[in-house]
């Protein structure tokens, strides 16, 4: 019901119905049977829209849970990376001090 092919098929069917019955077909003007069918479709559309919205909410909540789990994992990985970066910075400072230390005085 929410696609362009459906819209065009529906409009085409309504035009054919009106054209056929305009000349005295099985449902003469004012198209009582057609109005009954359209009312039934309108009644179903409400239920279908609610079902669709409920399904979309379900999918959105699953995506949110998945995102939350990934966010927690990424936070842990960033914290571990920070610890490693601080450790490397300390080791680099020690190496720099050892390599670039002033030469002992010779005497």
pTM tops 0.85: no
Give the separation between CA 60 and CA 54, rounded to whole angstroms. 10
In sequence order, what are the residues at sequence separation of 6 or more whose Cβ sits closer than 8 angstroms to the Cβ of residue 28?
21
The answer to whether the beta carbons of residues 34 and 17 sit under 8 Å apart is yes
pLDDT, tens digit only, all 107 positions of the chain: 667 788 788 888 888 888 888 877 888 778 888 888 898 888 888 888 888 888 888 888 888 888 888 898 899 999 999 999 999 999 999 999 888 877 777 75
The angle formed by the CA atoms of residues 97, 95 and 86, to the nearest 5 degrees, is 105
Give the separation between CA 104 and CA 107, rounded to whole angstroms. 9
């Amino acid at each position: 019901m929410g696609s362009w092919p459906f819209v065009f098929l529906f409009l085409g069917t309504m035009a054919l119905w009106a054209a056929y019955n305009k000349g005295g077909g099985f449902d003469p003007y004012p198209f009582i049977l057609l109005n009954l069918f359209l009312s039934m479709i309108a009644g179903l559309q409400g239920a279908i829209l609610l079902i669709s919205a409920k399904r979309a909410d379900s999918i959105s909540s699953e995506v949110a849970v998945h995102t939350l789990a990934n966010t927690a994992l990424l936070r842990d990985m960033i914290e571990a990376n920070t610890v490693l970066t601080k450790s490397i910075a300390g080791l680099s400072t020690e190496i720099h001090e050892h390599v670039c230390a002033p030469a002992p005085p010779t005497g």
